[in-house]
Amino acid sequence: MGPRLRSLRTTSLSLLILASPGLRAVASDSPPRSLTVRGLGEISASPDQVEFTIGIETTDPNVEKAQQLNNEAARKVIATLKGLGVLDKDVQTTYVNLSQTVRDQDPSRGSQPRTWIYVARKDMRVLLRKIESYENVMSQLMKSGVNQIHSLRFLRSDVRQWEAKARTAALEDAREKAQAMAKTMGVKLGAPLHIIEAQAAPPPMLKTYMMMEVRGAMADAGGPTLAAGELLFTTDVTVSFEIQ
């Protein structure tokens, strides 16, 4: 076979390879050029609900009496909440305990034999769907037998709506950043290729308030005793845009 014939066959094979549809697809499937940015969205909203945990603690040297006193107080508290319009589904017992402890000794009376007492306790989580009713509800609960408050948390009834607003703000932030970067690099920004949303931060949880502090605040005349502040809804997104 002469040199000319081998050259023709080589050329024909090269043309056949380039004309193959499958190989053309491989050549065109290279990933597009992209620009990846992070967008942050923050939206503030005033809370319209408040959730708190109340405690009922009773003591007596007799175990049955301590338990009886606690049960009576718990029934009265539940009845008070119903009378104030709180729904059954918004009241939940979260803790029940019965323990024995030593009664506090009087140092001025010298050495005395230990006196044991029984302590009965129930905790209930309460959701108020009208935040402005908190002070009246709490005042009535204290009269009914509540003597502890363990936590307080402000909420929004339409939380999904505010989460959606934060997500929209995050996506707008990502696009603005990408457009600014594309302009600086002298390229054209295309459609988004990938969008990843990070988990949103939970609403803030307030610190624990003891009953003595709340009672003292309620004793002050004039003005509310709660500062509800605002809830901050945040969303974090990562977006990859095609660039041309």
What are the tens digits of pLDDT across the range 132-153?
A: 999 999 999 999 999 999 889 9
Report in angstroms the alpha-carbon separations of 46 from 147, 159, 235: 29, 11, 18
Four-residue CA torsion sign, 135, 136, 137, 142: positive
pLDDT for residue 148: 94
What is the rounded distance in angstroms from the CA atom of residue 242 to the CA atom of residue 31? Answer: 10
Rounded average pLDDT over 205-222: 40
pLDDT for residue 1: 52
Architecture of domain 49-105+115-155: 2-Layer Sandwich (3.30)
Is residue 125 a contact partner of residue 88, using CB atoms and an 8 Å limit? no
pLDDT(106) > 70? no
- Of 225, 66, 212, which is closest to residue 148 (Cα–Cα)? 212
Of the ranges 1-10, 126-135, 167-176, which one carries the lowest mean pLDDT score? Answer: 1-10
What is the rounded distance in angstroms from the CA atom of residue 234 to the CA atom of residue 164? Answer: 10
pLDDT for residue 31: 82
Q: At the fourth CATH level, which superfamily is domain 31-46+157-203+228-244?
A: Protein of unknown function (DUF541), domain 1 (3.30.110.170)
Q: Which of 29-43, 106-120, 158-172, 221-235 has the highest mean pLDDT?
A: 158-172
Q: Token digits for 37? A: 């940015």
Per domain, the residue ranges of the chain are 31-46+157-203+228-244, 49-105+115-155
In which band, very low, low, confident or very high, does the pLDDT at 233 lie, cut at 50, 70 and 90? very high
What is the rounded distance in angstroms from the CA atom of residue 55 to the CA atom of residue 46? Answer: 27
Q: Could you report the per-residue pLDDT of 22-64, keeping only the tens digit for each?
A: 444 444 567 889 999 999 999 999 999 999 999 999 999 999 9
